[in-house]
Amino acid sequence: MNPDYPSDEREQSGSETIQTVDTLRGELERNDLARHLALFYRSPQNQLEVAATFVKQGLRSGNRCLYFVDTNTRSTIERAFRRVDIDVERRVADGDLLIENAQDAYREANFDPDELISLLADACHGSVTDEYDGLWVAGELSWCFHTNLSYDHVIGFEADFDAACPDLPVTALCQYDLNQFNDESVAKALWTHEQIVYRYRLCENPYYIAPDEYRSDGSGLLNGQLMLEQMYDLAHARSQVTRREQRLSVVNRILRHDIRNDLNVVRGILNLFAERTDLDDTSEDRLDTAIRHVDGIFDVADKARYVERTISRSTVERGTLAPFIERALDRVTTTHPDATVSVEGIHDVEVVTDANLGVALAELLEYAIDAQDADEPRVELTVSDRPPERVQIEVQYPGQPIPRTDQQVLNEGIETPLNHCRGLGLWLAKWVVENAHGTLDFPETDEPRIRIELYRCLA
Q: Stretch 290-313: mean pLDDT, rounded?
A: 74
pLDDT at 47 over 70: yes
Mean pLDDT confidence for 329-356: 92
Structure confidence at residue 254 (pLDDT): 66
- 217-313 shares the fold of 14-216: no
Highest mean pLDDT among 74-88, 197-211, 412-426: 74-88
Please tell me which residue, 252 or 353, carries the higher pLDDT value: 353
Distance from the Cα of residue 158 to its chain's centroid: 28
Of the candidates 201, 203, 204, 143, the one whose C-alpha atom is nearest the C-alpha of residue 176 is: 143
Number of H helices, E strands in the chain: 16, 14
pLDDT of 188: 83
- Report, as an integer, the average pLDDT of 98-123: 82
**What are the CA-CA distances from residue 13 to residues 82, 197, 341, 349 (Å)?**
22, 21, 36, 21
Q: What are phi and psi of 12, to 5 degrees?
A: -155, 165
DSSP states of 383-410: EEEETTTEEEEEEE-SSPPPPHHHHHHH
Q: What is the pLDDT of residue 313?
A: 66
Q: Cα torsion for 161, 165, 169, 175, to the nearest 10°? A: 60
- The residues spanned by each domain of the chain are 14-216, 217-313, 315-459
Provide CB contacts within 8 A for 360, sequence distance 6+: 354, 428, 429, 432, 433, 452
Cα distance between residue 247 and residue 254, in whole Å: 11
> Please, which residues bridge with residue 382 across strands?
344, 394
Euclidean distance between CA atoms 14 and 139, whole angstroms: 27
pTM for the model: 0.64
Best CA proximity match to 453, nearest among 442, 441, 443, 438: 438
CA 294 to chain centre: 37
Q: Is the peptide bond before 206 cis (omega within 30 degrees of 0)?
A: no
pLDDT of residue 312: 63
Average pLDDT over residues 182-201: 85
What span, in angstroms and rounded, lies between the C-alpha atoms of 35 and 26?
A: 18
Look at 413 and 327; give whichever has higher pLDDT. 327
Mean pLDDT is lowest, of 2-11, 295-304, 320-329, 402-411, for 2-11
Q: Which one has a higher pLDDT value, 17 or 298?
A: 298
- In this structure, which amino acid lies at residue 238? R
At 411 the three-state DSSP class reads: helix
How high is the mean pLDDT of the chain?
82
Checking if the pLDDT of 88 tops 80, the result is yes
CB 168 within 8 A of CB 191: no
What's residue 106's pLDDT?
A: 73
pLDDT digits (tens, 9 = 90+) for 264-276: 888 888 888 888 8
Min mean pLDDT across 44-48, 367-371, 397-401, 412-416 is at 412-416
More confident residue, 218 or 37: 37
Nearest to 42 by CA among 76, 74, 3: 3
Q: Residue 366's pLDDT band (boundaries 50, 70, 90)?
A: very high
The confidence score (pLDDT) of residue 136 equals 98
- Residue 344 is predicted with a pLDDT of 94
- Burial of residue 368 (CB within 10 Å: 0-12, 13-18, 19+) is buried
What pLDDT was estimated at residue 148? Answer: 66
pLDDT-above-90 percentage for the chain:
36
Own/partner contacts of 244-251, CB < 8 Å, gap of 24 or more, are: none
Residue 326: name the closest of 343, 340, 305 by CA.
343
Which CATH number applies to 217-313: 3.30.70, 2.60.40, 1.10.10, 1.20.58?
1.20.58
CATH number (3.90.950.20, 1.10.10.60, 3.30.565.10, 3.40.50.2020) of 315-459 reads 3.30.565.10
Q: CA-to-CA distance for 238 and 236, rounded, in angstroms? A: 5
* Residue 14: per-residue pLDDT: 38
pLDDT digits (tens, 9 = 90+) for 206-252: 888 888 777 665 444 334 455 455 546 666 676 677 777 666 666 66
* Highest mean pLDDT of the ranges 109-118, 183-192, 215-224, 429-438: 429-438
Is-contact 449 440, C-beta < 8 A?
no
The angle formed by the CA atoms of residues 345, 347 and 348, to the nearest 5 degrees, is: 135
Q: What is the mean pLDDT of residues 103-107?
A: 76
CATH class of 14-216: alpha beta
DSSP codes, 423-457: SSHHHHHHHHHHHTT-EEE----SS-EEEEEEEEP
- Residue 230 CA to residue 227 CA, distance in Å, equals 5
- Which residue would you say has higher pLDDT here, 258 or 132? 132
pLDDT at 238: 65
Q: Give strand pairing partners of 385.
A: 391
pLDDT of residue 427: 86
Q: Could you tell me which of 368, 340, 335, 358 has the C-alpha nearest to residue 429?
A: 358
> Is the pLDDT at 342 greater than 60, yes or no?
yes
What's the mean pLDDT in 324-330?
A: 96
Are the C-beta atoms of 67 and 51 separated by less than 8 Å? yes
**String of b and e for 167-198 (b: at least 16 CB within 10 Å)?**
ebbbbbbbbbbbeebeeebbebbbbbbbbbbb
* pLDDT the model gives residue 83: 93
Q: What confidence score (pLDDT) does residue 222 get? A: 38
Give the span between the Cα atoms of 396 and 341, in whole angstroms.
10
**Predicted pLDDT at 33:** 94
